[in-house]
Copies of this chain bind each other. A is one copy, B any other.
């Protein structure tokens, strides 16, 4: 199918913006991937019939949006996940981070049991291998008393990958964004539960038991919610 979504331009009028759009189109049409070097400024300028300065501005926009990356001494390349940026929903700018964490947990409670169930039903052997590995990474981080927020997000994303749905692995890192805040708020109390909870979810998915995976995930998130609720009522050291 040839149809593509039309990207909505932030600033329809500007020349660098239109150039960025044309370069994006080129990337899509030629199916360029992270292995591919972008054609040179000179070639692009010829091809798109604009000046090299404009090409440079357009490229900068696409770098800022994580479509392109400059590899020192090697040239400009397509990124691994073009267009995906850290914190795409601007959570950094949300003034009430505790409420944000609660609202994210509400969504996780809705989504993730289904994700776990679907993962159990559809996971391939390769998926399960990756899942076991990320589960072990979280355990190692916790046992070494290291920050496990990143490996934790990776574990939940590995579960998402088992669903074979293209979008779920992109959504999970967004809604598990709060784990980082969460880990620092509730600290030690949750670590044991995380170890046990993650293991139980892993076992259920590996034995292809969808119901049990959904229940284990539901409990894991509910426990997190209760902990955060407690924190909200009585922050350590009083108000």
* Smallest CB gap from A98: residue in B: B1
Closest residue of chain B to A8 (Cβ to Cβ) is: B86
Bin chain A's interface residue count.
35 or more
**A23-38 interface code vs B (CB 8 A; 1 in, 0 out):** 0100110010000000
Interface residues of A in 191-238 (CB under 8 A from B): none
Given A10-B69, A100-B167: 9 more A-B contacts, CB < 8 Å: A1-B98, A5-B92, A11-B69, A24-B92, A60-B60, A81-B90, A83-B93, A89-B167, A103-B165
Contacts of A167 in B (CB 8 A): 89, 100, 103-104, 107, 175
Cβ of A111 within 8 Å of any chain B Cβ, yes or no, is yes
The answer to whether A190 has its CB under 8 Å from any CB of chain B is no
- Is residue A136 contacting chain B, with contact meaning CB distance below 8 A? no
Distance from A114 Cβ to chain B, minimum over Cβ atoms (Å): 5
Is A106's beta carbon under 8 Å from chain B?
A: yes
Which of the candidate stretches A39-47, A126-134, A176-184 sits at the interface with the other chain?
A176-184
Q: Is A73 an interface residue (CB 8 A)?
A: no
Q: How far is the CA of A58 from the CA of B81 in the complex (A)?
A: 23
Write the nearest CB–CB distance from A25 to chain B, whole angstroms: 9
Alpha-carbon distance A220/B44, docked complex (angstroms): 45
The proximity string for A residues 56-74 relative to B, scoring 1 for CB distances below 8 Å and 0 otherwise, is: 0000110111110100000
The 9 closest A-B pairs by CB, nearest first: A83-B90, A88-B88, A64-B64, A8-B86, A103-B166, A103-B165, A82-B93, A89-B170, A61-B64
- Report whether B166 and A99 are in contact in the complex, using a CB–CB cutoff of 8 Å: yes
Asked if A15 CB lies within 8 Å of chain B CBs, one says: no
A85 part of interface (Cβ distance < 8 Å): yes
Q: Would you call B5 and A180 a contact (CB within 8 A)?
A: yes
Do A89 and B97 touch (CB < 8 A)?
Answer: no
Q: Shortest beta-carbon distance, A27 to chain B, in Å?
A: 7
Contacts of A103 in B (CB 8 A): 165-168
Closest to A66 in B: B10
Is A27 in contact with B93, judged by CB distance below 8 angstroms? Answer: yes
Is the CB of A124 closer than 8 A to any CB of chain B? no
Q: Tell me if A107 and B180 are in contact (CB < 8 A).
A: no
B166 near A92 with CB under 8 A, answer: no
